Amino acid sequence: MGFRGRGSRYRGLLDCVATEVSDCCRRRIVVERTGLALESLLYSFNMYHLSSLILFLTLIFTLIFTITTNHIASASTQYELTPHHYHRAFKDKKASGEAGDVLGSEFNNKQRLERIQIMGEQELERKARMTLEDEQHEIFSNHYLYARQDGSCSCPGCTLRMNREKHERDLAYKPPTAVEYAQYLQWRAEEAEQRSKAAAEKRLEEQNQERMEREQERLRKEQEKTDRVKRAEERKRAAKTKVKEERSKETARQASKQQEKDAQVRMARHHIKEQHAKFDKYLRDMKNHGQEVETRTGVVDIGWVKKKGVATCLFCEEEIKYYSFRCPDGGAVACNPCKNKLSQVLTTKVL
10-residue stretch averages of pLDDT, the chain, 351 residues long: 45 59 61 60 57 73 66 42 40 51 65 76 80 78 52 72 79 77 83 91 93 94 93 91 85 82 81 78 74 63 79 81 81 81 60 36
**pLDDT at position 6:** 45
Give the pLDDT score at 196: 92
The CA-atom distances, in angstroms, between 111 and each of 107, 114, 116, 124 are 6, 5, 9, 20
CA distance 12 to 10: 6
What amino acid occupies position 91?
A: K
Confirm if 8 and 2 have CB atoms less than 8 A apart.
no
pLDDT at residue 263, as a whole number:
81
Specify the pTM.
Answer: 0.32
In whole angstroms, give the CA distance from residue 45 to residue 60: 21
Alpha-carbon Rg for the chain, nearest whole angstrom, is: 64
Helix (H, G, I), strand (E, B) or coil at 323: strand
Say if residues 295 and 276 touch (Cβ distance below 8 Å): no
C-alpha–C-alpha distance, residues 339 and 333, integer Å: 9
Length in residues, the chain: 351
Query: Can you tell me whether residue 349 is helix, strand or coil?
Result: strand
Give the per-residue pLDDT at 229. 93
Round to the nearest angstrom and report the end-to-end CA distance of the chain.
Answer: 159
Give CA–CA dist 329/331, Å, rounded: 6
Residues 181/120, Cβ–Cβ less than 8 Å: yes
